[in-house]
């Protein structure tokens, strides 16, 4: 990568295009998800090596339950492997976190998520955040429910305090959102947190996403002029 690059503190990655990758190879969609998990491993490692503070991987949206049951089941099974992979690369360096509503997930998966998060909680390197059953709107609705449940007064509600009720509490806002697969939309990912994010859309399908694609996206980010509404 070029010198003098401005690194984003928080990168969000929409891991999209697994199904199309498999279709092109005349394989079942599940094969794309398996290959996607491998890309996840390489990409998380590369982010940590670059010195990124936090990266959030969009793995399953609140809308992805609409898919055929066999595909959803296969993806849920893969998450267990994703977590093993995540734990493997985490070592004593990376902290694994999870965002999204764990409620509809199986007991086994929930236990595993809790374990992995607890096992890596003391790590002070990069935060590797997995968005599983995550929806930006759902994140905001759950935050609003917390306000009602805790009886928080209107005078105490502001952008800062509201942010701390979201799943990403304590994390910096996402600076760069990368979406491979050619689609140019957010698909309900981090909609609050991305208020001033830079977007990089790429034609590569997620299973083919290389370290050099990440470098390219970061270089593009670094070349943008972020104004945050100022001049
Ligand atoms: C992303 O790949 C994985 C999930 C949404 C779980 P897709 O499965 O959406 O792949 P395409 O978009 O159909 O190619
Ligand atoms: C977004 O991809 C969700 C994840 C990658 C987890 P989708 O494939 O679900 O998004 P749409 O349906 O194309 O908007
Ligand atoms: Mg897709």
Express each pLDDT in 92-106 by its tens digit.
Answer: 999 999 999 999 999
User: In the structure, what pLDDT confidence band is assigned to residue 203 with cuts at 50, 70 and 90?
Assistant: very high
Distance 20 CA to ligand 3 centre (A): 8
C-alpha angle with apex 203: 198 to 208, nearest 5 degrees?
110
What residues have a C-beta under 5 A from ligand 3, the ion? Answer: 16
pLDDT at 2 over 80: no
> Residue 14 CA: which ligand 1 atom is closest?
1
If you write DSSP's letter for every residue of 34-82 in order, what string do you get?
A: HHHHHHHHHHHHHHHHHT-SEEEEEEEETTGGGS-HHHHHHHHHHHHHH
Mean pLDDT score across all residues of the chain: 96
**Burial of 23 from C-beta contacts in 10 A (0-12 / 13-18 / 19+):** middle
Protein residue with least CA distance to atom 3, ligand 2: 61
> Residue 64 CA: which ligand 2 atom is closest?
9
User: In the structure, what pLDDT confidence band is assigned to residue 85 with cuts at 50, 70 and 90?
Assistant: confident
Q: What local confidence, expressed as pLDDT, does residue 195 receive?
A: 98
Distance 50 CA to ligand 1 centre (A): 27
- The residues assigned a catalytic role are 16, 64
10 Å Cβ neighbour count for 163?
16
Kindly state the percentage of the chain with pLDDT values over 90.
Answer: 95
CATH code of domain 10-223: 3.40.1180.10
Show me where the domains of the chain are located.
10-223
């Amino acid at each position: 990568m070029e010198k003098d690059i401005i690194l984003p503190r928080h990168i969000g990655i929409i891991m999209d295009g697994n199904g199309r990758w498999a279709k092109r190879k005349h394989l079942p969609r599940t094969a794309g998800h398996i290959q996607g998990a491998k890309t996840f491993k390489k990409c998380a490692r590369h982010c940590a090596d670059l010195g990124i503070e936090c990266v959030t991987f969009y793995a399953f949206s609140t809308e992805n339950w609409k898919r055929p049951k066999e595909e959803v089941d296969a993806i849920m099974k893969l998450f267990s492997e994703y977590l093993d992979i995540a734990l493997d690369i985490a070592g004593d360096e990376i902290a694994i976190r999870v965002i999204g509503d764990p409620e509809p997930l199986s007991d086994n998966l929930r236990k595993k998520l809790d374990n992995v998060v607890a096992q890596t909680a003391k790590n002070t390197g990069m935060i590797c955040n997995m968005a599983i059953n995550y929806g930006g709107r759902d994140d905001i609705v759950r935050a609003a429910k917390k306000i009602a449940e805790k009886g928080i007064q209107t005078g105490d509600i502001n952008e800062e305090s509201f942010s701390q009720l979201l799943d990403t509490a304590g994390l910096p806002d996402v600076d760069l959102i990368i979406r491979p697969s050619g689609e140019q939309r957010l698909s309900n990912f981090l909609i609050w947190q991305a208020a001033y994010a830079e977007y990089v859309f790429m034609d590569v399908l997620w299973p083919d996403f290389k370290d050099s694609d990440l470098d390219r996206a970061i270089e593009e980010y670094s070349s943008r002029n972020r104004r945050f509404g100022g001049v």
